[in-house]
A and B are shown apart, each in its own frame.
Chain A
Amino acid sequence: MEKDYWEHFYHQADIGIRGISPNREDAFAQAALALIAVITPPEMVKPLLEVDIHCQEEDDDYLFYAWINAIIYEIATRKMLFTRFRVQISPAGELTARAWGEPIDPSRHQPTVEVKGATFTCLKVEQDPTGLWSAQCVVDV
């Protein structure tokens, strides 16, 4: 199995997103791909434009919540989808990221649904005993 990956998990009305990686930053980046995959397959999106994203929280869970909501905000206000994310997190909890994507093309992307926001449901950022990080929450659609 790849070391970096994303997956969706069960919620009755909405959908859970999860990113997995040996490091926290890439777990956040993978979870961002899981978010995009709720809307359209990330591989359908071309990396034509760059967008910088910043957020800050001391607590990892709240930082992840802020990160997912920051991407949702960029999708909503720029009318863009993304296909790649690079994330850096400072010890003070300052997240600096770059996202690559393109404007939404409804006929090509066939966006399944609009994501309204990250939620606290199943919100968790943790490292397992093998050192693998996971970052997850349910998103409201």
Chain B
Amino acid sequence: MDIRQLTRVHEWKWIIPATGKMKVPAVFYANQALLEDMDQKVYEQIVNVTTLPGIVEAAFAMPDAHWGYGFPIGGVAAFDPEQGGVISAGGVGFDIACGVRTLLTGLTAQDINPLQERVADSLFRDIPAGLGSTGDIRLSSAEMDAMLAGGARWAVQQGYGEKEDLEHLEEKGCMAGARPDLVSAQAKKRQRDEMGTLGSGNHYLEVQQVADIYDPEVARVFQIQKGDILVSLHCGSRGLGHQIGSEYLKKMAQTASGYGIDLPDRELACSPIKSPLGQEYLGVMRAAINCAMANRQIITHLTRQTLGRLFPGIKLSLLYDVAHNTCKEEEHIIRGKPKNLFVHRKGATRAFGPGHPSLPPAFQQVGQPVIIGGTMGTSSYILVGTQENMELSLGSACHGAGRSMSRKQASRQWRGVDIIQSLREKGIIVRSVSKKGVAEEAPDAYKDVNQVVDAAEQAHLVRRVLRMKPLVCIKG
């Protein structure tokens, strides 16, 4: 990206002042090196977002921002329904509520090391992953609606997990306002046999070891010590979310002009929040959020079963679960006044600071755990939200490393078998149905997650708590 078009506020904050059709400025939280590595499309896309009706304060680009659809991935924007604000299917994306959750295992490297291959084989056998994989759960029509209304709460009621899990989920595991009745038959059919499946691409399940602790006090609150073994999983609302995304992108694009919205890019398809279509999308998107939370809950249950067989008596407790592709109704203080806003986070995560009413009691004093997934060969991080960030970016942060190379380039440059072997030599066991899929997800096809996390911390969006290194990685 050509940074001459940006105004530097300080080393970690750059802005594009509002000019022309821009209703608000665009704000980048990144340093010069990360900005220069960003595709020029990120600039175009974030500027386009600032032109949407009812946008409040600014459009924000996180340090991992890269070329997305309408919104850049790593884009955040809030809209005020009282000012004609919109909700955008493009701004939420296809994999609605795709997210990451992290489980504490109570194990240490000494427990895992002798069984590392068996752990990899067992998780790969028990967690359905990859195109065409199916779960064991088949939902009737009534069960599907109950799942879409209840989310992880439904899953726990069905025996997939424990009540305590729900305390450590956004929305306590159940997104209110879901409208399963409005979800299309096609979307439900795509989900029929995909409950409890990981998917493919950048989705994963990893067994990780805590390598560094940066903030011992917060780590203690998170009940994590150096050397602990954690399990993190990354997946979303599967076929149901993809279908809803496709359907409403088209509906909103075809009706935007009727609402007087001049879309700078069809991919920014949106409707006024208060319009019938806006309300309809809110209802189905919330159903997809519930689907994603239920899916991650079921995979959690499968992981507990698998590791329970290998380590009798083990108890896996949930640290937290964050969603990346959402639009959520939140109260924020804007110029001293509370405002009810619809905050889009596309490839970005919530990062609420201490004292936020939505946080579970355990995190009230320190802030929200923010889970940053790395690649199968690099680090992942757990960060914590800051009070300051509630003003900086509406309590948002980056979600991962972000791609720096296309899939095609990556598969030309590397062979999956070589990557698997090279990671094995570093003590990381990878299991995947697809060698080419592994090549496309090569660690070097992503930005340096350490730089991204450093930028997020330097910009005061989050604080680093700990770093994990992968030991086992299951890919679709």
Contacts and interface: CB of A to CB of B under 8 A. Distances in A.
Contacts of A120: 69-70, 90, 249, 253, 265-267, 269
A73 B186 contact: yes
Interface in B3-47: 39, 41
Given A111-B130, A120-B269, A76 B250 contact: no
B407 interface: yes
Interface in B415-451: 433-437, 440
Given A12-B403, A120-B266, A112 B69 contact: no
22 contacts: A10-B406, A12-B39, A12-B405, A13-B73, A15-B406, A62-B250, A72-B246, A77-B190, A103-B132, A106-B130, A106-B132, A110-B435, A110-B437, A112-B440, A114-B131, A114-B476, A117-B94, A120-B69, A120-B90, A120-B249, A120-B269, A141-B407
Contacts of B94: 116-117, 119, 140
B189 interface: yes
Contact of A111 (B66, B70, B132): B132
A75 B189 CA distance: 12
The interface size bin for chain A is 35 or more
B271 interface: no
A123 B90 CA distance: 14
B254 interface: yes
Given A13-B403, A76-B239, A120-B266, A114 B66 contact: no
B190 A11 contact: no
Interface in A105-141: 106, 110-114, 116-121, 123, 138, 140-141
Main secondary structure of the interface of B (DSSP, over half): mixed
Interface of B: 39, 41, 66-70, 73, 90, 93-95, 130-134, 186, 189-190, 192, 199-201, 239, 242-243, 245-246, 249-250, 253-254, 265-267, 269, 403-408, 411, 433-437, 440, 476
A111 B132 CA distance: 9
B69 A113 contact: no
Of listed A72, A112, A141, residue having the most chain B CB within 10 A: A112
Given A76-B190, A116-B94, A117-B245, A11 B131 contact: no
Contacts of B93: 140
B437 A113 contact: yes
B408 A12 contact: no
B131 A104 contact: yes
A73 B246 CA distance: 11
B68 A13 contact: yes
B267 A119 contact: yes
A31 B245 CA distance: 21
A54 interface: no
B104 to A, nearest CB: 30
B69 A140 contact: yes
A83 B93 CA distance: 29
A21 B200 CA distance: 31
Contacts of B435: 110
A111 B201 CA distance: 10
A75 to B, nearest CB: 8
A110 B415 CA distance: 14
A8 interface: yes
A113 B242 contact: no
B124 to A, nearest CB: 12
Of listed B39, B67, B189, B411, residue having the most chain A CB within 10 A: B67
A53 to B, nearest CB: 13
A39 interface: yes
Contact of B69 (A8, A114, A121): A121
Contacts of A52: none
